[in-house]
């Protein structure tokens, strides 16, 4: 058997190439849109990709089933309940897919219908030989993760309540997956940082036995308790999820390779006048030091596509502001979530800003101490990182030159809340906020902020914070692009408060 996992850190997404070396027949499960690695590895291993299987209709990335079907002639397969806008093979519960010879021997996959995350969700039990008592492993899609289970609330808009889907998920877990031997390896579709669950581990594989013992959602409990547990505290849903789910269901244009064209400053500004957004992809420190006024921001060294999909409306034309040599990476990572309308890129933004200081702005950032607040009860908040809450972000080194000169520390004694005219906004996910927050802060997660800006008063100051200072800068850029003029964020975020308290 040939078995390979492909893990994409920036989207916390896993895909799998499985083949029978004797016959050369192979399947690819949950592929991303850029397929060159799969094709290269299959050719090197002497494999023919005959079937592309989707464990469900994905919402967090644009899948590569159409690209692979064009490149290889492979058939696209989904669970039997899937409704799509293109021809598919429907896989029935209990169906066995043999990659071996006609004698029935060889690598075999058995389909398990496991509704709960979505209606059409399936898992695939993989055996190197069809009569193996202990399977090699099970590909669990978004039904079971290492340390978590799939969120059941993504179909609310389609009339299926999270409680109903959670009950289905419970049945799928206990009547299908947990009946497998403990030694069966678990290969999920996502890891830590994914918004498809709230407590995903950074480990990319496990075993059924370990998950039975250590996964919080698989511990013995009444069904009603399970439903309450898995429907609470889920990460905010990024704005692009519905867009990607529709494209994965109905069909999408095929990925076009190649770098985006270079634009002049005048061309970039003219594109913005026509409705495009300027997306600054440089590292956080470079952006906060100087950026084109009104540009959005999300750095390539973090969860670039997910954050871009949270602040840029699907279908909006995009002009990239990238460090030299990174424009193709930025375009590809946007394409992985279906953001194909990239008009071009502005080469070397730092040099452009040096030549055009009148078009440049500097981010306003403050230290926590400058808010004049008492230190909150942390309740373990310093540990509320991405592995537990779905809110990963790299620690932000504090740039000593980024403090605004007009925001000076106060000599007043600490208080329990900020002044009434200041809007203190926590842009972390709900579970992070519930684990501990700054006094007087409201929770408006970054993923949904663009749809809730009307809840804020642009005439009053806004102070933003997150865990470490990354998401808050992204949120500040969004507010400034929407016309807010008095916005700053807390350097180091809530982690800085935890460090100070210790």
Predicted confidence at residue 349, as pLDDT, reads 95
pLDDT tens per residue across span 278-335: 999 999 999 999 999 999 999 999 999 999 999 999 999 999 999 999 999 999 999 9
Q: What whole-number distance in Å separates Cα of residue 501 and Cα of residue 377? A: 9
pTM for this prediction: 0.90
Q: Which tokens in the block code for residue 168?
A: 């289905």
CB 363 within 8 A of CB 403: no
Q: Annotated catalytic residue: which of 196, 281, 466, 488?
A: 466
Of the candidates 235, 96, 61, 83, the residue with the CA atom closest to the CA atom of residue 153: 235
- Per-residue pLDDT band at 499 (split at 50, 70, 90): low
Q: Which residue has the higher pLDDT, 93 or 387?
A: 93
**466 catalytic residue (yes or no):** yes
Digit-coded pLDDT (tens) for 229-257: 999 888 888 889 999 999 999 999 999 88
Question: Which residues, other chains included, contact 58 with Cβ-Cβ below 8 Å and sequence gap of 6+?
Answer: 30, 142, 189, 244, 245, 248
Q: Containing H/E element for 227? A: helix 223-231
């Amino acid at each position: 058997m040939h078995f390979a996992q492909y893990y994409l850190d920036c989207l916390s997404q896993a895909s799998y190439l499985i083949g029978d070396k004797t016959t050369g027949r192979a399947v690819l499960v949950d592929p991303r849109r850029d397929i060159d690695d799969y094709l290269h590895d299959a050719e090197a291993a002497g494999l023919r990709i005959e079937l592309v299987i989707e464990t469900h209709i994905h919402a967090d990335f644009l899948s590569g089933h159409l690209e692979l079907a064009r490149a290889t002639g492979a058939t696209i397969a989904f669970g039997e309940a899937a409704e799509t806008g293109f021809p598919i093979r429907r896989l029935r519960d209990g169906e066995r897919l043999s990659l071996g010879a006609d004698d029935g021997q060889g690598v075999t996959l058995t389909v398990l219908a496991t509704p709960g995350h979505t209606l059409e969700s399936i898992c695939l039990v993989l055996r190197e030989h069809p009569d193996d008592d202990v399977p090699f492993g099970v590909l669990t899609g978004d039904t079971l993760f290492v340390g978590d289970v799939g969120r059941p609330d993504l179909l609310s808009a389609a009339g299926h309540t999270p409680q109903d889907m959670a009950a289905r998920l419970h049945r799928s877990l206990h009547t299908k997956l947990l009946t497998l031997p403990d030694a069966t390896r678990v290969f999920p579709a996502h890891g830590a940082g994914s918004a498809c669950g709230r407590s995903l581990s950074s480990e990319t594989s496990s075993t059924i036995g370990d998950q039975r013992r250590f996964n919080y959602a698989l511990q013995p409990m009444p069904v009603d308790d399970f439903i309450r547990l898995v429907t609470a505290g889920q990460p905010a849903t990024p704005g692009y999820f519905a867009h990607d789910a529709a494209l994965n269901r109905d069909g999408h244009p095929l990925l076009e390779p190649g770098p985006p064209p270079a634009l002049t400053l005048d061309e970039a500004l003219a594109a913005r006048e026509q409705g495009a957004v300027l997306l600054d992809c440089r590292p956080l420190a470079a952006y906060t030091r100087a950026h084109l006024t009104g540009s959005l921001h999300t750095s390539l060294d973090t969860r670039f596509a997910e954050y871009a999909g949270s602040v840029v409306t699907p279908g909006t034309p995009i002009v990239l502001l990238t460090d030299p040599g990174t424009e193709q990476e930025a375009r590809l990572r946007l394409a992985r979530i279906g953001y194909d309308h990239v008009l071009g890129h502005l080469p070397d933004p730092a040099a452009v800003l040096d030549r055009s200081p009148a078009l440049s702005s500097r981010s306003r950032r403050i230290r926590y101490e400058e808010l004049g607040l008492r230190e909150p009860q942390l309740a373990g908040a310093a540990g509320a990182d991405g592995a537990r809450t779905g809110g990963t972000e790299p620690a932000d080194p504090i740039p000593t030159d980024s403090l605004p000169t007009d925001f000076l520390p106060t000599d007043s004694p600490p208080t329990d809340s900020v002044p009434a005219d200041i809007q203190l906004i926590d842009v972390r996910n709900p579970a992070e906020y519930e684990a501990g927050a700054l006094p007087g802060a409201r929770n408006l997660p970054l993923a949904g902020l663009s749809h809730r800006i009307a809840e804020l008063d642009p005439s009053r100051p806004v102070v933003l914070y997150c865990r470490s200072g990354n998401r808050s800068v992204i949120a500040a850029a969004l507010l400034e692009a929407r016309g807010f003029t008095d916005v700053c964020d807390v350097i180091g975020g809530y982690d800085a408060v935890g460090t100070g308290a210790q």
